[in-house]
Chains A and B, each alone.
Chain A
Amino acid sequence: GQQVMQIPQYQHVQEGEDFTTYCNSSTTLSNIQWYKQRPGGHPVFLIQLVKSGEVKKQKRLTFQFGEAKKNSSLHITATQTTDVGTYFCAGHGNTDKLIFGTGTRLQVFP
């Protein structure tokens, strides 16, 4: 079945450093979504990318969808302690099932 992997699994950074998580799907995706889950909380929708090669920015966050629509990345510039949490990518194949990636847990040290 469809699998969506993320690397790294964990990342510890010093506040102010940049952070990137990569998402790779075993099959072509019709879209990619990104979620953030704070410790003890539920996933919160960040953004959706649909077009091949699409790049979107939200303040310090940059999201990219690969040309082949099988991979994606989330880059955070100058991390802050408020960025702490687990970042999940999730995508649809050719069905309405949303398959979540394995997640990257980000820890930011002040």
Chain B
Amino acid sequence: AQSVTQLGSHVSVSEGALVLLRCNYSSSVPPYLFWYVQYPNQGLQLLLKYTTGATLVKGINGFEAEFKKSETSFHLTKPSAHMSDAAEYFCAVSGNTGTASKLTFGTGTRLQVTL
């Protein structure tokens, strides 16, 4: 069984400030981890993913995330927030077994960027 916990349903940062969105996972098999972004009235768009290899992964729009197995975490960061980053962000986990065919999402974190 797999689950994802996103701490903080709402995060507010000033433009230019560091963005940190937290995600912790639980998985009985080695996980594959994802961050998706949802802009208003749109579907979910993949920001980045971790499968194997380098634990620091870079995604689109300047976001990156680090897989920390010891902490079961996959936090999303961006050094400098932009107004266009305001959206809902979802962390998700998938098993890496041959039969895994679904993503399990967290409850989401709404990011607000203020001037």
Q: Are A and B bound to each other? A: no
Binding site for A on B (CB under 8 A): none
